[in-house]
Amino acid sequence: MRQPGRADGTRRATIHDVARAANVSTATVSRALRYPEQVSTPLAARVEAAVAKLAYVPDASARALATARTQTAAIVTADLGRYAAIISSACRRLGGAGLATRLVECPTGGVDQAVEALAEGDMEGAIFVGVEPTATAASRLRARRIPMIVATAGHAEIPGVNIDLATSASVVIDHLATLGHRAMAVAGEHGADMLEAAWVAAVGEALHRRSAEQPMDLGKVTALLFASDAAAASAMKELRRAGGSVPEEVSIVGFGDAPWARCLDPGLASVRLPWHTIGMQLAEALVTARNGGKPQSVAVVPKLVVRGSVVPCST
């Protein structure tokens, strides 16, 4: 029986046939044919061999597939739970722009591997929350012409949302100082993500500046700042178990202002990040880049929320 496509009746090879023969996606075949410089030499050779073997000739529909958008964006995050509010807001805005969202949870050390998989999948953009793309990952995404948007703390070379932790840290330290606290410290966490580590660094710098202006008391610490609300709540529990008292003996400040922070006894003072605003701004920047525009970085300043865990120093 004659098959459509060739004079001899045999079926003409399609891009799907080439993809199966080369063991790659159709998007990778399209990229290898249109932008061979963007794929590895071995991968390009596999695609070329499959094309030659199948006598594949792109037709109009294949060219349309090559230029089609995947309608999918990626959100790469260090912690889906911690950054749920950001992710939820970003997903809503992306969905409104016709983009599905692929969520990728990975530790800081796994960014390169995650980006490699995303690049092969031809995402239309990637948002990073709680992690930042390494130089290798950034280069990989640029080579694939995949826009990058980042929630960062002071690194303006990649567009997105710049979270001004330096200003927030100075506000918190100044507030504690006005309450009479002269012995303050910040406690980090093992395995803290990018944002938590940046907060600890910002508080450390604010404490250093304060000590240069006014000598700090090297005696018993009367105010402790933590990298997360969870760590602060845990410290409150341990201090009580050891016979200590919060806030009478030590004031405590968390970071993030989790929904449950106000429900603790005493209520946990914390630094509130505008999670939903950050998510919307990240998504807006990606949509702008996807549509050929030049996204601008937006600055946000987290606010101190004072609750019962912070009181004037009694010593």
pLDDT of residue 8: 46
The answer to the question of residue 281 being in a domain is: yes
User: Is this prediction's pTM over 0.95?
Assistant: no
CATH code of the domain containing 26: 1.10.260.40
How far CA 103 is from CA of 6, 122, 124, 240, 299, in Å, comes to 43, 15, 14, 39, 24
Residue partners of 314: CB distance under 8 A and separation at least 6? 222, 248, 249
The answer to the question of residue 138 being in a domain is: yes
CA-CA distance, 39 to 315, in Å (whole number)?
Answer: 65
CA-CA distance, 162 to 153, in Å (whole number)?
Answer: 5
Same domain assignment for residues 224 and 279: no
Same domain assignment for residues 153 and 286: yes
pLDDT of residue 3: 43
The candidate with the shortest Cα–Cα distance to 160, out of 300, 8, 308, 3, is 300
Same domain assignment for residues 169 and 157: no
Same domain assignment for residues 182 and 257: yes
Q: What is the H or E stretch that residue 101 is in?
A: strand 100-105
Please tell me whether the peptide bond between 247 and the residue prior to it is cis, using omega within 30 degrees of 0: yes
DSSP-assigned letter for residue 5? B
Same domain assignment for residues 284 and 135: yes
As for how many domains the chain has, the answer is: 3
Same domain assignment for residues 215 and 91: no
The answer to the question of residue 139 being in a domain is: yes
Same domain assignment for residues 121 and 252: no
How far CA 178 is from CA of 40, 121, 158, in Å, comes to 60, 53, 37
The answer to the question of residue 313 being in a domain is: no
Same domain assignment for residues 105 and 189: no
Same domain assignment for residues 63 and 76: no
pLDDT of residue 60: 47
| Helices 26-34 + 41-54 axis angle, to 10 | 100
Backbone angles phi, psi at 140, to 5 degrees: -65, -45
SS3 188: coil
Same domain assignment for residues 91 and 235: no
The pLDDT tens digits along the chain (315 residues) read: 334 444 444 677 888 899 999 999 888 887 787 767 677 888 888 988 888 888 887 664 444 444 456 788 999 998 888 899 999 999 999 999 999 999 998 876 788 888 888 777 768 899 999 888 888 888 888 888 889 999 988 766 789 999 999 999 999 999 999 999 989 999 987 666 888 889 999 999 999 988 867 666 656 899 999 999 999 999 999 999 999 899 999 999 999 999 999 999 999 999 999 999 999 999 999 999 988 899 988 999 999 999 999 999 987
The answer to the question of residue 181 being in a domain is: yes
Tokens representing 175 are 């507030």
SS3 184: strand
pLDDT of residue 61: 46
Place of tokens 């239309």: 124
Same domain assignment for residues 171 and 156: no
CATH code of the domain containing 196: 3.40.50.2300
Tokens representing 219 are 């005696």
The answer to the question of residue 187 being in a domain is: yes
Q: In terms of C-beta density within 10 A (0-12 exposed, 13-18 middle, 19 or more buried), how is residue 285 classed? A: buried
Where a domain ends, among 237, 258, 273?
273
The answer to the question of residue 306 being in a domain is: no
CA-CA distance, 251 to 176, in Å (whole number)?
Answer: 9
pLDDT of residue 190: 65
Which residue segment(s) compose the domain that 178 sits in?
A: 165-273
Tokens representing 241 are 């178990």
Please tell me whether the peptide bond between 147 and the residue prior to it is cis, using omega within 30 degrees of 0: no
Same domain assignment for residues 83 and 132: yes
Contact assessment for residue 95 and residue 101, using Cβ atoms and an 8 Å cutoff: yes
CA-CA distance, 234 to 32, in Å (whole number)?
Answer: 52
Q: How far is CA 215 from the centre of its chain?
A: 37
The answer to the question of residue 310 being in a domain is: no
